[in-house]
Each structure stands twice: as structure tokens, then as C-alpha cells.
Amino acid sequence: MFIPFPSRPLKFISLFITILGILPLNVSAIELSFADALKLALENAPVLVANQAQIESARQAAIPAGELPDPQLALGVDNLPIQGNESFSLSRDFMTMQRVGIMQSFPNLAKLDARIAIAEGRLAVAEAQTRLVRLQILQETSVAWINRAGIERQLQKMTELEIENQHLAQSVKARFAGGAGMPSELLAPRQEAARIAERRDDLESAKQQTIAQLKRWIGGAAEQPLSGEVPEWPISYEDLSHGLHRHPELDLFMPKGKVLDAEVAEAKADKIPDWALQLAYQRRGPAYGDMVSMQVSVDLPLFADSRQEPKIAAKLAERNALAAEHNAALQEHNAMLESGLAEYKRLCKAERRSQEVLIPLAKEKVALTLAAWQSNRSDLATLITARQELIDTELKAITTESERKQLAARLHYTYSKETLVYGEGQ
């Protein structure tokens, strides 16, 4: 028996089903922008977790750096007889005394200050290393994202070429059916389609490799479709050279130098005597009164030429070596910046030449060759060759643009002042 439902519940059910049909589409349409990828990389990179642990370790190690050594408890027996009937007896009828005391060592203030400076310097080194790792993560994530975006653009171009190939195949069949063309021309579009399929396979493989690179930094989110564009950063020597001296890799030398300076100071402080104070309570027999004693001991650095001086010389040599390494690294980064800028200018010129000259000429050649083929003034092989040249030119232009953007990202996330602040702020 059919029981009709009221109209309003039916409308409600219909609306509910419509909403259920829409929701999965919205959920599955999550996209990955360039900024999202960088944010995820800075939040999820395991190497940053390791660096944060190193910072915490250095911070905890700095807490006791300037503290005095732990006091020492001293227990002993004085005037213990070793001969006669009372030998080795702890009887207090004689002058045997049971002693309990405490001793505190006091390193000189210069040594304590040096130890504090060493601990603070090592903390600064750990923080500088973290900033360097952050920038490396930004570089590698941005390059992987840009590389994938470029490959996906080439795949879109492959789709366009496949559609054009189908149109060409239809035109060849129509011409042959009309009595024009050679039978062998029927194979040319299929051969072209096979070459396009080969390129698509190569690009699909390259895309999966870029996704794998992204997964290293952002995990499963690398599978999401990309959206948006990459920022166009200002790339010039004037803009980037100001950040050269603040680059984290060069910044490492400053805290490292502070550590070595403090170690030199600590080695020199070994020439200043340390001292210790000992207080003791001595218990004797009833016939004798108990006593207290105080003892002060002082180090005697009498052989500095063979003990302290070699340590000082070794630390000074390390400091000089670090200064030389810093100068070498500064020159290397300056050379890398100039070389990168030269390559960036070349890529800009190549990209502009492709867009303004090479691609228009290749398209014009295809149009002229197509018109000649349609009017029976040229063969299909010439047209296929012209189309192949256009394909190569367009794909190369996309590759050049992608390489330029990747190089821009590396330069920006290496030398830009804005990037150095951003790398520290997350």
C-alpha cells in the first residue's frame, strides 16, 4: 500500500541529499598554496624539533655555568695509634680525634665569568644553527613547490597538444577521404600522439618525484593540488647584498667566536690561583676538649710555561682559524651571490626571448605550414616538424620560467633581509 509523504518533508529530504552531495566536493577541494607549503614545512619538519632540543639542552647547560662547585664532605680520624696495646683503636682516651668537616672550592671570578660566557655562546650557536636550518627548509620547500607547479603547467600543455593532435588526425582523415594526401600521412598524427604520450609519462614521473620532495618537508599535504602563484621577489645585488653579512651561515661565526674568546679567557684564568676553604669539627676523649679547625688551600700555578701557556696558545690558534674561515665563507657567499645573480639575469633574458620572439615565431611557422599543407603546397611531415618545434619551444619556456623562479627563491631565502626576519619569527 502506497502512503504519500507530506510535501514539506520531501523538500527537506531533497535539500538534505543535495547538501550531502555538495559537502564531499568541498572537502576534497583542499588546495596547497605556496605560503601554506612554507608554513607546514616550518611546523612539521623533524629537523627543527631536533634543533629545538639542542637549544633547550644548551639553555639548561647555561644555568649552572657560573655556580660554585659542590661542597665536599670530609670524614677522618686523626692521631690514630699504630703501635702498642691500643694500636688502631678508636678509643678517645688518647689524643685520637674523630673529624668531620666540609670543604668548598672557590674558582677565581675570571674563570667563572669565562664559563658563563662559554655557556651563553653555545646557546647562541644552537640558536644560529636553528635559523640556518629554517632558511634551508624554506629554500627546499619553495624549490620543490615551484618545480612541481612548472611540471604541472607542462602537463596542461600536453593536454592541449593531445586535443590539437586529435583535430589534426580528423583533418588528415578528411583530406584523405576527399582524395588528397598520401596513405602514409594517416600514420603521422598517431606517431605524434605517441611522442606526446611519452613526454606525458616523463612529466608524470617528474611530478611524482617533486611530490616526494615536498613530502619530506610537509608530509601527506604534498599530495594536494596546487593553487596560486609564487611571489615575484625583488632580485638585485643592491637588494640582496645588504643581507649578505647577516646570513645565518655567516652569523654562526659570531657566537662561535664568542665561545672561543671565552675559552681563551678561561685558559688564561687558569694562571690565577683558585682557593678552597675547609672547616672541620674534631671530637676527642673526655680528658681533652673538642676542637674545630679551618684550612685554606691555594693553587700554585708555578709551571705556566708547560701547562697553562700551551692551552692558551691552542685556543688562540683555534680563534685565528675561525677568523680565517669566516673570511673565506664571506668571500664564498659573495661569489655565490654574484654568480646566482648572473644566472638569474640570463634566465630572465631567455624567458623574455621565449615569450616575445621564439614562441610567436614558432606559432607563425606552424600557421604558415598548416596553410601551405591545406592548399597542397607542402607535405604533412613539414607540418609535423613545425608543430614539434613549437612543442619544444613552449615546454622549454615553461622550464626556463620555473628555473628562474626556483633560483629567485634560493636567492631570496638566502640573502633577503625580509627572509632573515621571517626565518626567525616562526
Convert the pLDDT of each residue in 57-90 to its tens digit. Answer: 999 988 898 899 999 999 988 877 777 666 766 6
Q: Are residues 414 and 282 located together in one domain of the fold?
A: no
Q: Are residues 370 and 221 located together in one domain of the fold?
A: yes
pLDDT at residue 15, rounded to an integer: 45
Domain range enclosing 87 = 71-106+275-304
User: By percentage, how much of the chain surpasses pLDDT 70?
Assistant: 87
Q: Round to the nearest angstrom and report the end-to-end CA distance of the chain.
A: 67
> The pTM is what?
0.77
Among 320, 319, 324, 330, residue whose Cα is nearest residue 249: 330
Q: Are residues 229 and 345 located together in one domain of the fold?
A: yes
Given pLDDT bands bounded at 50, 70 and 90, which one contains residue 137? very high
Average pLDDT (112-137) is: 92
Q: Are residues 349 and 291 located together in one domain of the fold?
A: no
Q: Please check whether residue 228 lies inside any domain of the structure.
A: yes
User: Residue 91: pLDDT above 70?
Assistant: no
Q: Please check whether residue 3 lies inside any domain of the structure.
A: no
Structurally, the chain folds into a number of domains equal to 2
Q: Please check whether residue 41 lies inside any domain of the structure.
A: no
pLDDT at residue 77, rounded to an integer: 84
Average pLDDT (142-151) is: 95
Among 62, 99, 102, residue whose Cα is nearest residue 78: 99
Q: What is the pLDDT of residues 335-385, one digit of tens each?
A: 988 999 999 999 999 999 999 999 999 999 999 998 988 888 888 888 888
pLDDT at residue 323, rounded to an integer: 93
Q: Please check whether residue 314 lies inside any domain of the structure.
A: yes
pLDDT at residue 187, rounded to an integer: 80
User: Residue 248: pLDDT above 80?
Assistant: no
Mean pLDDT lowest among 194-208, 347-361, 404-418: 404-418
User: Residue 225: pLDDT above 90?
Assistant: yes
Please tell me the number of Cα atoms within 13 Å of 216 on its side-chain side: 16
The grid coordinates of residue 250 equal 655567516
Q: Are residues 200 and 298 located together in one domain of the fold?
A: no
pLDDT at residue 384, rounded to an integer: 86
Q: Please check whether residue 81 lies inside any domain of the structure.
A: yes
Q: Are residues 91 and 229 located together in one domain of the fold?
A: no
Looking at 304, 323, 358, the residue that finishes a domain is 304
Q: Are residues 284 and 420 located together in one domain of the fold?
A: no
Q: Please check whether residue 55 lies inside any domain of the structure.
A: yes
pLDDT at residue 212, rounded to an integer: 94
pLDDT at residue 382, rounded to an integer: 87
Please name the residues in contact with 222: beta carbons below 8 A apart, sequence gap of 6 or more: 32, 211, 212, 214, 215
pLDDT at residue 359, rounded to an integer: 94
Mean pLDDT lowest among 243-247, 291-295, 323-327: 243-247
Q: Are residues 90 and 123 located together in one domain of the fold?
A: no
Q: Are residues 399 and 253 located together in one domain of the fold?
A: yes
**What strands, in cross-sheet order, belong to the sheet with 275-283?**
72-78, 97-106, 275-283, 291-298
pLDDT at residue 374, rounded to an integer: 82
Mean pLDDT lowest among 105-119, 187-201, 265-279: 187-201
- Asked if residues 222 and 32 have their Cβ atoms less than 8 Å apart, the reply is yes
Mean pLDDT lowest among 28-32, 281-285, 295-299, 350-354: 28-32
Q: Are residues 131 and 202 located together in one domain of the fold?
A: yes
- Asked if residues 78 and 97 have their Cβ atoms less than 8 Å apart, the reply is yes
pLDDT at residue 414, rounded to an integer: 84
Amino acid at 68: L
**Residue 98 φ/ψ region, left for φ over 0, alpha for ψ in the -120 to 50 degree band, beta for the rest:** beta
Given pLDDT bands bounded at 50, 70 and 90, which one contains residue 21? very low
User: By percentage, how much of the chain surpasses pLDDT 90?
Assistant: 49
Amino acid at 321: A
State the CATH number of the domain containing residue 324.
1.20.1600.10
